[in-house]
Chains A and B, each alone.
Chain A
Amino acid sequence: MNRLFTLPVLLGILYSGIRLATPYLYAAIGETFSQRSGVLNLGVDGIMLMGAYSGFYVAQKSGNLWVGLLAAAVVGLLMGLLMAFVSVTLQATQGISGIGLYLFGLGLSTLLFKTTLGGVESINGFQPVKIPLLGDIPYLGDVLFNHNLLVYGAFLLVPLAWWVMNKTTFGLKVRAVGQNPQAADTLGVNVNRIRYTTVCLGGMLAGIAGASLSIALINLFQEDMTNGMGFIAVALVYFGSWRPVGVLGGALLFSFVNALQLWIQVLGIPLPSDIAVMMPYILTILALTVSVNRTQKPAALTKPYQRGES
């Protein structure tokens, strides 16, 4: 255990934790918007897989990572559009349609992977960019300010999402539509348009989350590579009480524990790796159980809106 509490290891845990939080942040912040407007998109994992695949494939073919990222965003947006059509226009049961979207994304990304790539190849992904001055701070500079651009983007997304949600008219509309769609409708807010926007935004961010894995963090694509991360992202939204800052807390907690268990394995501390991998999940459940959930979920979550219904 002494080996764990040395400065280099602690800094290493901090560094890996920040990296690991990246895909969760993109996906969960997107899902926060979606759920705040009343739509539960359980298909995030499927969208992430499609984003990871298309980001990787396009980046590899075009030789340009940004084009790959754009492709992932567009594919994610289209998947979001599909989800919005099914759950907003056709008013399908959201928990189940999300599972359909997940299976679709899982199957299609695997199919495309096997037919277009054939095997696992790696790519030269986004490289770390050291921020001038801040990156020179002893110890912390390397840990906090020497990441690739997608990692910075994920963390900048949090204050941005907070600002949009709480300080803009759009955010107000999103919250109103999720809390009381009838009232919002009466005030002239187009409920379905807001929901389409948020679900598509969530899809786009989930696509980017997938690409952050395949072209920035792991730098390869393989079948089912998200391994359920999208479901964890949905869980983090509940964990964070539908607030961007809460989601950040949840993502960091989950990722730091994950980084801790990785380092425990690296250092060869005798704890079975499978048990170590369980830690973040168990801890998340425990944290949820002991923390009193103060905020109520958006009142209209999972409820499709239809005019003329009381």
Chain B
Amino acid sequence: MPDKPGIKKFFNQIVDALLPLLGLVLALLIGAVMLLALDASPLKAYAAMLDGAVGNISGITQTLVKATPLLLVGLGVVIAFRGGVTNIGGEGQLTVGALATTAVAIGFGALPGWILLPASLLAGTLAGAAWGGVPGVLKSRFGVNEILGTVMMNAIALQLSNFLLRGVMIDPAEIERGTQIAQSALLPEQTWLARLVPRTLLHSGAILAVVMAVLVYIFLWRTTIGYRIRAVGLNPDASRYAGIRVPFYQALSLILGGAFAGLAGAVEVLGVQHRMLEGLSGGYGFSGIVAALFGKLHPLGAIPASVLFGGLLVGGNKMQRVVQVPSSLIDAMLGLVVLFVVSADIWSRRRARRREINE
């Protein structure tokens, strides 16, 4: 090849990175057809969506608030998928993370913030790790498929949350008033994450998430353990021959995946809701997968991807108000984006193969 390989490689990377955007455009087009079928103007709908997501300070901060848990869950998904395991337990891991954070923040409410806040975050992270660890150990020790394990743990987490929120963890005020809404008491104020922009919900958890993305990048590409996780994901057989304990690293990637989903739950409680309530996970466990995938399963790629999908979710609410089309249209489109992005991989792979043949 006469031209410089560096430029060519760079060009190829650009094309690979742009393919997901193409998938998004295609999904938006199909969404437009659905909008037309529902007698709504796609232009008006998408304009409302854009306006809702980035039209003003409140929209932008809302987008970033939604992007935060997406990014954290997405990072967990990146680690798990890089390790060759399918973690669909994000919902459950996030839920138990939020529960544990709430329990610690309320249970030790007398402690000062500088110790209680990190302790609460840590509790959520550890609970998530444990929830991911169960399917991890089941897989490595007993050969139980991790899809099965994570699905079951999701269902169990949901019931556990209902049980605790209607029982021991319920807000005493709810019992007094007799309303019995299944939510915990408000967390002590010293555990609330600092607001970044006054009078908005944007909190310091967003910064934490970005820092975590960088750390995950360093972890996966600059440490031995990270290298082994990726090796196991790329080729378990070769890894085994190279002496890497494959089951251990598979379990580890599920544990780490759970830890990040748990942290997402912790941050959602400490930063946004300031209490644990039913339905807190709000589908982040699944949409985090979309964000991770859209970022090409790269921790840094997950940052813009999460912001994009955070914007879609926030904009979807505005769209619902303006053109009266349920925001579940956005969920359907998220699904299509996933389908298109994973399908587009075939072209990336084909070009990669062609390059190999040429070289």
B289 CB contacts on chain A under 8 angstroms: 96, 99
| Contact of B343 with A by CB under 8 A | yes
A60 CB contacts on chain B under 8 angstroms: none
B160 CB contacts on chain A under 8 angstroms: 274, 278
The B-contacting residues of A in range 95-125, CB under 8 angstroms, are 95-97, 99-108, 110-111, 114-115
| Contact of A281 with B by CB under 8 A | yes
A111 and B332 within 8 A (CB): yes
Contact for B332 among A99, A104, A228, A285, CB less than 8 A: A104
| Contact of A133 with B by CB under 8 A | no
A106 and B335 within 8 A (CB): yes
| Contact of A267 with B by CB under 8 A | no
Contact for A107 among B138, B154, B334, CB less than 8 A: B334
A104 and B166 within 8 A (CB): no
B154 and A288 within 8 A (CB): no
Q: How many residues of B contact A (CB 8 A)?
A: 48
Kindly state the separation between the CA atoms of A97 and B325 in the bound complex, as whole angstroms: 26
In this complex, what residue of B is CB-closest to A290?
B142
Kindly state the separation between the CA atoms of A97 and B147 in the bound complex, as whole angstroms: 14
| Contact of B172 with A by CB under 8 A | no
In this complex, what residue of A is CB-closest to B339?
A100
B335 and A103 within 8 A (CB): yes
A97 and B334 within 8 A (CB): no
Kindly state the separation between the CA atoms of A76 and B149 in the bound complex, as whole angstroms: 26
* Dominant secondary structure at the B interface: helix
In this complex, what residue of B is CB-closest to A288?
B144
Kindly state the separation between the CA atoms of A105 and B334 in the bound complex, as whole angstroms: 11
The A-contacting residues of B in range 198-217, CB under 8 angstroms, are none
| Contact of B174 with A by CB under 8 A | no
In this complex, what residue of B is CB-closest to A302?
B86
* Dominant secondary structure at the A interface: helix
B162 CB contacts on chain A under 8 angstroms: 274
B337-359 toward A: CB 8 Å interface, digit per residue (1/0)?
A: 11100110110010000000000
Kindly state the separation between the CA atoms of A100 and B160 in the bound complex, as whole angstroms: 27
A288 and B138 within 8 A (CB): yes
Contact for A228 among B81, B138, B154, B325, CB less than 8 A: B154
A238 and B145 within 8 A (CB): yes
In this complex, what residue of A is CB-closest to B345?
A92
A231 and B151 within 8 A (CB): yes
| Contact of A18 with B by CB under 8 A | no
B134-151 toward A: CB 8 Å interface, digit per residue (1/0)?
A: 000010001111011101
B154 and A93 within 8 A (CB): no
Kindly state the separation between the CA atoms of A211 and B113 in the bound complex, as whole angstroms: 53
| Contact of B159 with A by CB under 8 A | yes
A239 and B148 within 8 A (CB): yes
B342 and A93 within 8 A (CB): yes
B345 and A107 within 8 A (CB): no
A96 and B342 within 8 A (CB): yes
A102 CB contacts on chain B under 8 angstroms: 286, 335
B86 CB contacts on chain A under 8 angstroms: 42, 95-96
Contact for A90 among B159, B163, B333, B346, CB less than 8 A: B346
A91 CB contacts on chain B under 8 angstroms: 345-346, 349
| Contact of B107 with A by CB under 8 A | no
| Contact of A200 with B by CB under 8 A | no
Given contact pairs A95-B86, A108-B332, A239-B148, enumerate 4 new A-B contacts (beta carbons under 8 Å): A97-B339, A103-B331, A231-B147, A285-B152
Q: List 21 A-B contacts (CB under 8 A).
A: A96-B81, A96-B289, A99-B88, A99-B290, A100-B290, A100-B339, A101-B335, A101-B339, A102-B335, A103-B331, A103-B335, A107-B331, A107-B335, A111-B331, A115-B38, A228-B154, A228-B155, A234-B147, A235-B152, A284-B152, A288-B138
Q: Which are the 7 A-B pairs with shortest beta-carbon distances?
A: A104-B335, A100-B338, A107-B331, A107-B332, A103-B335, A274-B163, A110-B328
